[in-house]
Amino acid sequence: MHPLAHSLAVTFQRDFASADREIEWVSAEEERALALAPDTLLIGRVDARGRTGGEAFFGEWKTASPAKARRMDEVKAAWRTDPQALTYGVLLGPETRRFTVRWAIKTATPTTAFEWYSYTDAEIDHWRDQLLGIAHEIRCWRRDRDLHGRVAWRTNFGNCDRYGAKYMCPFFEPKCSHLAFAKPMNSPRTGHTELEKGVAAMMAANPQLVVLSGSRVDDYLGCPEAYRNKWEGAGYTEENENLTIGTDFHSLIRDYIRSMIHA
């Protein structure tokens, strides 16, 4: 367990304890799947679901850097139409139109922030159409590979340092900066959820199948070539300290939420 993940989780529980006592918690880290079309499957692991005042909502827990926390108003506004949150909105169906995002901020003494949001049916319908469009584009990229032997999908070099120069895209130095798009990364993807573990077999059985999730959509919109590297074929498992902190933090909060779910 990373020590920073532990202190972030302690702060999260302390800061939200009062609000959490008013919530009827339903699930924590629940895996869900929804067939958007015969060959398009949407999957996801929802951080938490609950009810307040009789209304269903889902929760999304994030860790955030101090730099991000300094512009928290912008960050909160961006989540209103964040592709990952919209994707969860589609996944959870019409009975869940509200969601909350909570941030645990990685300062020396951790702090937290939160915001509540809601979607209209029209917004969710629009995003469902967008997801089907993304799935169609992915099939077109695959077809180009099969028909023309083209390896790289569309690159977006403006996305390589999306998280700052210290956290360059893992494909930049070994592959994209040398136009060596076919170079293997030798770190095949290992699924983090039970659904993810079954995806490779499903795709092998049905080459037309496109599996989407919040992370996959976020990667695709940022750079289709990054999506290809991470999620197509053998895929790629990224490892770094930030991901370790995030994974450890999420497992602690999962246990905390589960402790509040009444049998």
Q: Which positions touch ligand SF4 (CB under 6 A)?
A: 155-157, 159-160, 169, 171-172, 176, 223, 225-226, 229
Q: How far is the CB of 233 from ligand SF4 (least distance, A)?
A: 14
Q: How far is the CB of 223 from ligand SF4 (least distance, A)?
A: 3
Q: Which is nearer to ligand SF4, 123 or 144 (CB)?
A: 144
Q: Which is nearer to ligand SF4, 176 or 253 (CB)?
A: 176
Q: How far is the CB of 219 from ligand SF4 (least distance, A)?
A: 9
Q: How far is the CB of 175 from ligand SF4 (least distance, A)?
A: 7
Q: Report the distance separating Cα 25 and Cα 260, nearest Å.
A: 7
Q: How far is the CB of 229 from ligand SF4 (least distance, A)?
A: 6
Q: Which is nearer to ligand SF4, 114 or 172 (CB)?
A: 172
Print the SS3 string covering the chain. Answer: CCHHHHHHHHHHHHHHHHHHHCCEEEEEEEEEEEEEECCEEEEEEEEEEEEECCEEEEEEEEEECHHHHCCHHHHHHHHCCCHHHHHHHHHHCCCCCEEEEEEEECCCCCEEEEEEEECCHHHHHHHHHHHHHHHHHHHHHHHHHHHHCCCCCCCCHHHCCCCCHHHCCCCCCCCHHHCCCCCCCCCCCCCCCHHHHHHHHHHHHCCCCEEECHHHHHHHHHCHHHHHHHHCCCCCCCCCHHHHHHHHHHHHHHHHHHCCCCC
Contact 225, 156 (CB under 8 A): yes
Select from 125, 83, 80, 65 the least CA-distant residue to 222: 83
Q: How far is the CB of 21 from ligand SF4 (least distance, A)?
A: 43
Q: Which is nearer to ligand SF4, 77 or 180 (CB)?
A: 180
Q: Which is nearer to ligand SF4, 143 or 154 (CB)?
A: 154
Q: Which is nearer to ligand SF4, 103 or 220 (CB)?
A: 220
Q: How far is the CB of 151 from ligand SF4 (least distance, A)?
A: 12
Q: Which is nearer to ligand SF4, 89 or 224 (CB)?
A: 224
